[in-house]
Amino acid sequence: MRNIKLVLEYDGSNYHGWQKQPNLPTIQGTIEDTLAQLTKTQIQIIGAGRTDTGVHAEGQVANFHTDSQMPVVAFQKGLNATLPRDIVVCSATEVSAEFHSRFSAISRRYRYTILSREYPTALSRQTSYFFPAAIDVPRSNQLCQILVGKHDFSSFQKTGSDRINPICEIYEICCWKDTSNIYFEIEADSFLRGMVRAIVGTILKWTMNDDAEAHLHRILEAKDRAVAGTSVPAHGLSLIRVRYNNA
């Protein structure tokens, strides 16, 4: 069996997340249906990150096993010719049998995009969160640094999540401004469900408070989702990179 690695870009607006669900459009389900058309066999594809409903990707990684002798480039071209226009295969490569897009990953990096101006946008409304209030970027960066390192991030986990271990290690988190957009980027070894959106929402809530650092420490220590800020909407979030030991 050959092991094929894909790097994917998609607009998640019309999908109920990555993971396949009965009677609902998902990224995984759509790609698997298209692979079945190309190979005439049922193939299961594994994603590096299970992005939620409405979340996008610029650098999602996936892999699948197949006994098809189709050239690798034909997988990329065939998928791109058949998939909906909001899902694109950026690259396709054959990798070792041991490669697993999810379990071989050493980190994932997400970006959250905020449109920070007085009026909304007609062009990027599905990929950025309109937030007309002022955002103090240097202050936001100060708060971000409190979260770097290994912590129990239960306070930032979506209620109802079935993950048992809430410990994650954030390697880097930063905030910067480019014209009218403000970006938050977070890279970690793993993420709890809804974690990035809860972190961004919490920082936006506390940025203007003088005792924000103390509040953020208390939120971490509480291990209780109810004490953190409201999550920002899903459509501003994108999975931009997945890192592996050899790349």
Number of domains in the chain: 2
Is residue 11 part of the annotated active site? The answer reads: no
pTM of the entire structure?
A: 0.95
Q: What is the average per-residue pLDDT within 223-231?
A: 95
Question: Same domain for 64 and 134?
Answer: no
pLDDT beyond 60 at 226: yes
Structural domain includes residue 136: yes
Q: Are residues 126 and 53 in the same domain?
A: no
Q: What Cα–Cα distance (Å) separates residue 170 from each residue in 72, 103, 129?
A: 35, 17, 23
Domain finish residue from 95, 126, 149: 95
What SS3 state is found at 81?
helix
Helix (H) or strand (E) holding 151: strand 149-152
pLDDT of residue 209: 84
Q: Which of 52, 136, 210, 211 is flagged as catalytic?
A: 52
138-191 pLDDT tens trace: 999 999 999 999 999 999 999 878 788 999 999 999 999 998 999 999 999 999
Do 122 and 224 sit in the same domain of this protein?
A: yes
216-219 own/partner pairs: CB under 8 Å, 24+ apart: 216/143, 216/146, 216/147, 217/146, 219/155
At which of 62, 95, 128 does a domain end?
95
Residue percentage of the chain with pLDDT more than 90: 94
Q: Are residues 112 and 59 in the same domain?
A: no
Q: Is pLDDT at 246 greater than 80 in this prediction?
A: no
Residue 204: CB atoms within 10 A of its CB come to: 21
Identify the band that residue 247 occupies on the pLDDT scale cut at 50, 70 and 90.
low
Query: 52: closest CA among 93, 19, 25, 86?
Result: 19
What pLDDT was estimated at residue 159? Answer: 85
Rounded average pLDDT over 85-89: 98
Considering the domain architecture, whether residues 91 and 134 belong to the same structural domain is answered as no
238 pLDDT exceeds 90? yes
Judge whether 101 lies within some domain. Answer: no
Which residues constitute the domain of residue 128?
A: 107-243
CATH number of the domain within which 182 lies: 3.30.70.660
In CATH, what number is assigned to the domain containing residue 15?
3.30.70.580
Other residues' Cβ atoms within 10 Å of the Cβ of residue 15: 25
| Residues 81 and 121 reside in one and the same domain | no
